[in-house]
Structure 1
Amino acid sequence: MGSTHHPPSISRHSSIATNPPLDRTKVKDYLLLSVLACFCPVWPINIVGFVYAVMSKNSLEQGNLDGAVRLGRVAKMLSIVSLVGGTVIIIACIVNLASECPKSDL
């Protein structure tokens, strides 16, 4: 039984060669942004964003920079959606309450 030697796959190495190594200090977990988003009234979305931010922070601490970047991107997106959605909801509530208040004739 002879073993055949397979040359290393070029396609596997090309993605590593084109992507520069990630700098640990430049990877963001967006934890502060997700904490701020938790104050917006879009609870399922901002809680999930916070969980992704914590997972990104844990991945960064474990040295998984790729995972930290991917999880951080999701945390950032969910936090921004929460902030925008929460702002719209708060403004809509203020406008609604202002329109229902009786106006005094002074």
Structure 2
Amino acid sequence: LSQLAGGKPSLSRHSSIATNPPLDRSKVKDYLLLSVLACFCPVWPINIVGFVYSIMSKNSLEQGNLDGAVRLGRVAKMLSVVSLVGGTVIIIACIVNLASECPKSDL
């Protein structure tokens, strides 16, 4: 219609076919080891949820749902990293707090 009116053809239309390359099954990560390591940090609700997302990512990969596995793996990675960083901050804060409360002896 825009060509009939003398205007330029629309450049905003894109093909409805996805142009993303297909995902390689070996490149999809579930971050299971990272989430297991994060379970040793004292941020329990977050690291357990990260572990659950990691298991869900692994199950999606086994069922052939590569897009879902990538998405769930990303969430598992994010939650595990947040748990590791938060756990490290909590452990350092506890050590500093305990060290400040200990009486110092004069030797």
TM-score normalised to structure 2 length: 0.85
Indicate how the Cα distance of structure 1 residues 23 and 12 shifts in structure 2: closer, same or farther if over 3 A, else same: farther
Tell me what 2:6 maps to. Answer: none
SS of residue matched to 1:15: coil
Large movers: runs of 4+ above 2 Å: 8-17
Indicate how the Cα distance of structure 1 residues 55 and 40 shifts in structure 2: closer, same or farther if over 3 A, else same: same
Tell me what 2:12 maps to. Answer: 11
- How far did 1:24 drift? 0.1
Distance in structure 1 (CA, Å) of the matches to 2:21 and 2:75:
21
Q: Deviations over 1:12-71 (max 9, x none)?
A: 994653210000000000000000000000000000000000000000001100000000
Indicate how the Cα distance of structure 1 residues 43 and 57 shifts in structure 2: closer, same or farther if over 3 A, else same: same
- Aligned residues, how many? 99
Indicate how the Cα distance of structure 1 residues 103 and 73 shifts in structure 2: closer, same or farther if over 3 A, else same: same
Distance in structure 1 (CA, Å) of the matches to 2:63 and 2:13:
24
Tell me what 2:74 maps to. Answer: 73
More helix by share: 1
Indicate how the Cα distance of structure 1 residues 63 and 91 shifts in structure 2: closer, same or farther if over 3 A, else same: same
Tell me what 1:51 maps to. Answer: 52
User: Which ranges in structure 2 are unaligned for 5 or more consecutive residues?
Assistant: 1-8
- How far did 1:105 drift? 0.3
**Identity of counterpart residues, as a percentage?**
95
User: RMSD of the TM alignment (CA)?
Assistant: 3.2
**The structure with more radius of gyration:** 2
